[in-house]
Chain A
């Protein structure tokens, strides 16, 4: 039996992905729209889902729209934006109770589809423009969202590392767009972009739950119809700009704890055969609480509470992040560099490899125990244009040897070191 039984079919302008499972008490529908990440469109794309989810032709105010969702047993609607490599992805998620667990047995899934189709295709407009006050409110919220990154120093340091490391590359763009471009957006220009996005974006619909797959396909086919398209492709190998030397950026702010973020180029992407080894390399190095970083920076040297590394699989990056005392920069960088050197020299045991394989496998199986986690795992295949099933993933990882891991480590190049530190205490 496979870990996830995903069925994919091409409908009008989009792909429908269904997974039938009885383990949830709700059904989850996620609509994804993907386009290359570009300076010119990133801000409009960040605004659009928030305007669409505020109200619609049928539910012209947020109060009316949200009251209707409450009536559908608190169906939860939310939108979000993400960067997947150099793509910008809008997601609309709707999760609705499965009526078989309610005392009221009125079917809810069809109503959820009607609702989702309504907000996607029949927005609240006048002529060729979105409702002006809705756009105004959401422009204000968008600015606040962009600004909010500054106030959360952990997020801010992550963002600044990427900004410095990927300067001149699309990946440096903030997922919520550019604050200076918000004001220029009008109800008309946003509506025009909405039409473009529906025409050109790669569209995917995921439905997970105790569903009848034919029934779901019929709903989707009836309610959502778009023109055919050939999705635009980004090649991150073309856009990546490598530096001759390591780039170090230190920024002073009024903070008590220093944030040390280090970026590496892995030169390996999701879907490539070395990717499995890269995952294990990251796991031994810094992905977990048994990893070298946790052990040496936290447990042995007592320098940090959090220290970890993570991969951006579709862009070929690995990022280390840690919160340290403002005066411990040199010591922390030194220990992290030593751990990287140890990885490249193959200074890790078969036991560490097995341990890491076991934990990664566990992590993956756990992720697909939530509907949204399963969708994110499956969506990797859309982004990478590689069709890797979860079962292939697990066997691929099992086959990785120590030599493969060392080879992946050797491809890894230090790019940028970023340090946010407090006043007067840094070295």
Chain B
């Protein structure tokens, strides 16, 4: 077991790779009541075209299958795993993103028992035709719930606009039609391909003794008969640099209009430090342009074009990335035009100042400290970073190292009109 110490943050992190390939990290936290653990596979909604384990032909699986699998893993022959967790005083959950499926629990007692339950339930699938059919009704209601949610429609509409072929444009839960094709055998095929320990990461944060916990995990894993598995082969079609669609409008049962402007990223074949620097530079850039202390924000707010739903964000994973800016507005077209003008202007020489950079860096450093008060944030983000060969606890030194030139360069490469897109949700007349 390795120990990594982060002096400035006063944290120690313990790491060990298991003989079956599983990466295990433990971060002891003093003073907290709870322990939080995530068991995550590098498998999400975008992994829909791949070479199944042991086969020699690529398959395309139905939209929404990674999320469906997540639901079904909780069901066992005797009972639902939720029952067992709650008997052990834990609350359990799971989520599926574009690139990851994570299973998690938090508990303030029986930590070791809960950890074993977590590992075992994820590593012992039990799928039957009957339970797969039953789940279609439940997930169908989840899909319908999102169909009625204008903010979700807005978010996904914008992503659909940006991408021509990349599966990030597929709704994570799929559609009622697409999930109707899912069978027990398909679930096993996905499971056997993506849930091998060498594709997974276990993170435990809380009031734990690292030696004891690592022992427990080691014993548990050594008792299971995993064979070495070759690297997973995924397939992605070529994706153009420009946004696929310039603008789309969806009419919904809402009273307030909503508008997002997106910028698709073309520099996404990155990982490690390069990716960390790129991602942080673009986040700093957006904050300088649109943060509450910016002139732009104050102009938009005093003109009444935005309200407190206004937000902006940059997301990147290997193979795709995008920024989005916007929110509720009384005038969706005028907001879109103004945001695009502001973005293009920020690219002009001399628009970004050293003073705003320093201020934003301070703000980001403080926000990071605030975030790492949360065991959930640490476990989820650490895993995301690790899957991209980045290190969560190097965010602060990386932020400190970013220069005005870095941000200017990021801006000049990123902000391109042909990568812009607009999506609006408007009230039905």
Contacts and interface: CB of A to CB of B under 8 A. Distances in A.
A63 interface: yes
B75 to A, nearest CB: 8
Contact of B373 (A24, A141, A304, A325): A24
B16 to A, nearest CB: 26
Contacts of B90: 359, 362
B5 interface: no
A403 interface: no
Interface in A293-311: 294-295, 298-299, 302-306
B86 A288 contact: yes
Contacts of A141: 307-308
A140 interface: yes
Contacts of A369: 32-34, 375
A63 B295 contact: yes
B34 A365 contact: yes
B175 to A, nearest CB: 12
Interface in B112-150: 134-139, 141-142, 144-145, 147-150
A298 B136 CA distance: 11
Interface stretch (B155-163, B355-363, B414-422): B355-363
Contact of B31 (A22, A103, A137, A257): A22
A399 interface: no
Interface in A320-352: 323-325, 351
Nearest to B133: A302
Interface stretch (B220-228, B298-306, B383-391): B298-306
A290 interface: yes
B369 interface: yes
Contacts of A358: 86-89, 109
A102 interface: yes
A256 B148 CA distance: 6
A195 B42 CA distance: 56
Interface in B80-106: 80, 82-83, 86-92, 106
A137 B148 CA distance: 30
Interface in A141-189: 141, 144-145, 147-148, 150-154
Contacts of A101: 8-10, 369
A23 B32 contact: yes
B293 A63 contact: yes
Interface in B292-332: 292-295, 297-298, 301-302, 304, 307-309, 328
B370 interface: yes
Interface residues of B, number: 72
B30 interface: yes
Given A140-B304, A257-B145, A370-B373, A289 B86 contact: yes
B82 A289 contact: yes
A118 B128 CA distance: 63
A355 B83 CA distance: 8
A399 B148 CA distance: 44
B34 A73 contact: no
A298 B31 contact: no
B278 interface: no
A361 B89 contact: yes
Given A256-B148, A362-B109, A365-B33, A151 B254 contact: yes
Contact of A26 (B148, B304, B370): B370
Contacts of A57: none
B362 A71 contact: yes
B309 to A, nearest CB: 7
Contact of B253 (A26, A253, A371): A253
The 8 closest A-B pairs by CB, nearest first: A23-B31, A74-B366, A302-B137, A73-B366, A74-B363, A358-B89, A66-B293, A305-B142
